Amino acid sequence: MSPAWLAGALDLGGDLLVVPLMLPVVGLLLGLGLGGRHLGRVALPLMVLGLAAALAVAAAVFKAGAPLHYALGGWAPPLGVSLKADGLSVVLLLTSALVVLAVGIYAQRPFGVAPGAVETRSSLAFWMLLLGVWSGLNTVALGQDLFTLFVALELLTFSAVPLVALDGRAETLAAALRYLLFALLGSVLYLLGAVLFYGTYGTLDIALLAAAIGGADAVPAPVLAAASLMTVGLLAKTALFPLHLWLPPAHAGAPPAASAVLSALVVKGSFFLILRIWFDLMPMLLTGMAAQILGALGVAAILYGGLLALRQARLKLLVAYSTLAQLGYLFLIFPLAATSDPAGSTDVVTGGMLHLVSHALAKAGMFLAAGLIAASLGQDQISALGGIARALPITVLAFGLGGLALMGLEPSGAYLAKSLLDGPAAASGQWWWGLAMQAGGLLTAAYLIRVFYHALAGFSHPPSLKSRPARYQELVALALALGALLLGLLPAELLGLVAIGRSGVELGGLP
Amino acid sequence: MSGVTLFGLCGAALVGLGLYGLICHPGVLRKILAFNLIGSGVFLLFGVIAKRGGGALAAAGTGIDSDPIPQALVITGLVVAFAATAIAVALLLRLVEVGGRGTLEDQAPASNPPHQGPKP
């Protein structure tokens, strides 16, 4: 049933994990020699290969029913550094490969160099930075050592920050600088936490640390300090509610292809590390106050982001504030998983990852569509969108389907995610988390209906367009939005993939 | 007071000073310097931990009196902090060149109205 290349790839076992790490770096090295003129075209086959590699890793993990391991240089963890692909890693690998490939196709027009045209500096910069982001994400997904993960996080940040300022206007430079300052504070706090872990246990390997922390009777004070420092640092990079100030100007000012990557993937990289720290490194600490605080911040983000999105006059800013709100949902999994039985907690993590994928696909599609609308009209004021649905039907359809996926209508991934989260919330009597999710869904519907209201009005007077988007760009945005909308149709066995490596707990009852 | 405690406290003081500067100073250049101060504090802590771990190694009769791993990590950390500073300074220089300001305060100078309307 599986094609020959897949069968061959499955025989590689742990060695397979090297491929997703290598491909972006190969692209970066080629880019130094080829320049921006050819890198855009060379990067595309690499991205297709990357998707194939991510699929092969997923198939291998699924078939084995256990995580894949690889020890760099053959040295096992106390001495060496290891890589591991479990269910969570596979989800992040697949999502990044998909979104990067879609953005790579879309960006052929804005950042490709036509034969005979003069090459611009932003072209080379964009492709190199996109490959850098991809490389950072793959390392975040597979790394099992706190210091490797630090380097991966820095690679991600240093690639993401210049993406914000690609057009070089003063306001985007200021947004990039503000983003960088928040991110640097986050990195240095994370590093401080890593030092404290090393000072206490003499290792940075997640599995060894988890065994040492789990084996002790009382949690030592440095571990508590390290956990709080690392979490706060990563929250600054993820832009959770009180540390969100940098996100809206940065995501709304970047070129659309960059915004899509930033909103869909980059903030998820640091969220993924928070997940690793709390669920893999010290699951026993999650029961306390920390989980409740993270959940409360998530609720604050859902409400604050939703309300501010309602008030925005510009389409791209609205989508950026919507990202703030959607990130809040991801943090509800901490209190819900902490108070559930093992099966319920697996459901919660699965729901959270499903929401991550669904938001990544929907938001990438919406940012790409919003970018096409802004480029065609020459501006993106929401009140001036009249008639755009007639002028650019496919683009508006992509934006709308992405919006339906965000609202959590059946059969979207967000719908399935919410029903997976709702069960444990009701079972443990914590109705307020469910209420927050419903309120968030209502706010999402409200700010998107405002966009639809303006976009669908004025049907008899379509606006005159400055330029037409290429058909393939519209179709890429549509495909991403459709992917998010149909994610809820995934068979239950595939959802079990997320739980592989989660302390052997089988996925509990599905809705 | 042993050397390990003294240097540990120095590291803590550097992190505190840097944190204050990063949050309270409006000038971006000062914020970048403050970030480097925090970084130095963290790297000092790496050194302290290397020395302390070395005590255990020496007591075990290995003939080594400092743990080499934190030292290797510090070198990587220094490279990362250097790269971060370079990116930040490059962005700041460009901001001063294009926007004529070296802070991130919201009120822009009157001669340079913020771009909020339709793009040209």
Contact B49, A226 (CB under 8 A): no
Any bridge partners for residue A71, and if so which? A82
Helix ranges, chain B (H)? 3-24, 28-59, 68-99
- DSSP state letter for A69: E
How high is the pLDDT of residue B111?
42
Element (H, E) at A321: helix A315-331
Percent of chain B with pLDDT over 70: 82
Contact B45, B74 (CB under 8 A): no
- Model confidence at A509, pLDDT cuts 50, 70, 90, reads very low
HSE on the CB side for A329, CA within 13 Å?
A: 36
Q: Is A378 an 8 Å CB contact of chain B?
A: yes
Cα–Cα distance list, A352 to A305, A358, A406, A415 (Å):
19, 10, 14, 11
Q: Token digits for A9?
A: 């790839």
How high is the pLDDT of residue A2?
52
How high is the pLDDT of residue A3?
66
Radius of gyration of chain A from Cα atoms? 22
Tell me what ipTM this predicted complex has: 0.86
Cβ separation B42–A199 shorter than 8 A: no
For chain A, the structural domain boundaries read 1-134, 143-285, 295-511
Cα–Cα distance list, A25 to A50, A139, A200 (Å):
11, 11, 34
**Residue the block writes with tokens 């590390």:** A273
Q: For residue B76, list chain A residues with Cβ-Cβ distance below 8 A.
A: 147, 151
Q: How far apart are CA A191 and CA A154, in angstroms?
A: 11
DSSP SS3 for B106: coil
* CB contact burial B4-17 (16+ within 10 A = b; e otherwise): eeebbeebeebbee
How high is the pLDDT of residue B1?
65
Q: Smallest Cα–Cα separation from A86: which of A118, A113, A62?
A: A62
Cβ separation B114–A171 shorter than 8 A: yes
A107-153 pLDDT, tens digit per residue, is 988 887 777 777 778 888 899 999 999 999 999 999 999 999 999 99
A351-384 pLDDT, tens digit per residue, is 889 999 999 999 999 999 999 999 888 888 888 8
For chain A, the maximum distance between any two Cα atoms, rounded to a whole number of angstroms, is: 72
Mutate to test the interface with A, among B87, B101, B107, B112 (most CBs of A within 10 A): B87
How high is the pLDDT of residue A99?
95
DSSP SS3 for A200: helix
Pick the residue from chain B with its C-alpha nearest to A173. Answer: B95
For chain B, the maximum distance between any two Cα atoms, rounded to a whole number of angstroms, is: 73
Contact A317, A394 (CB under 8 A): no
DSSP SS3 for A180: helix
Cβ separation B83–A191 shorter than 8 A: no
Query: Which region among A79-93, A152-166, A391-405, B97-111 has the lowest average model confidence (pLDDT)?
Result: B97-111
Cβ-based interface (< 8 Å): residues of B facing A: 15, 22, 28, 31-32, 35, 38-39, 42, 45-46, 49, 52-53, 67, 69-70, 73, 76-77, 80, 83-84, 87-88, 91-92, 94-95, 98-101, 104, 112, 114-115, 117-119
Percent of chain A with pLDDT over 90: 38
- Model confidence at A507, pLDDT cuts 50, 70, 90, reads very low
Residue A108 vs residue B64, higher pLDDT: A108
Question: Which amino acid is residue A474, in one-letter code?
Answer: E
How high is the pLDDT of residue A503?
60
Per-residue pLDDT at B116 exceeds 60: no
Cβ separation A170–B112 shorter than 8 A: yes
Cβ separation A192–B15 shorter than 8 A: yes
DSSP SS3 for A49: helix
- Can you list the domains of chain B with their CATH numbers? 3-99 (1.10.287.3510)
Q: Is A383 an 8 Å CB contact of chain B?
A: no
**In the 3-class helix/strand/coil scheme, how is A184-238 assigned residue by residue?**
HHHHHHHHHHHHHHHHHHCCCEHHHHHHHHHHCCCCCHHHHHHHHHHHHHHHHHH
Pick the residue from chain B with its C-alpha nearest to A193. Answer: B42
Residue B54 vs residue A308, higher pLDDT: A308
Q: For residue B88, list chain A residues with Cβ-Cβ distance below 8 A.
A: 177, 180-181, 184
CB pairs under 8 A between A and B: 97
- State which of A68-82, A144-158, A462-476 shows the largest mean pLDDT: A144-158
DSSP SS3 for A358: helix
Q: Is A162 an 8 Å CB contact of chain B?
A: yes
Average pLDDT of every residue of chain A: 86
Q: How far apart are CA A199 and CA B47, in angstroms?
A: 10
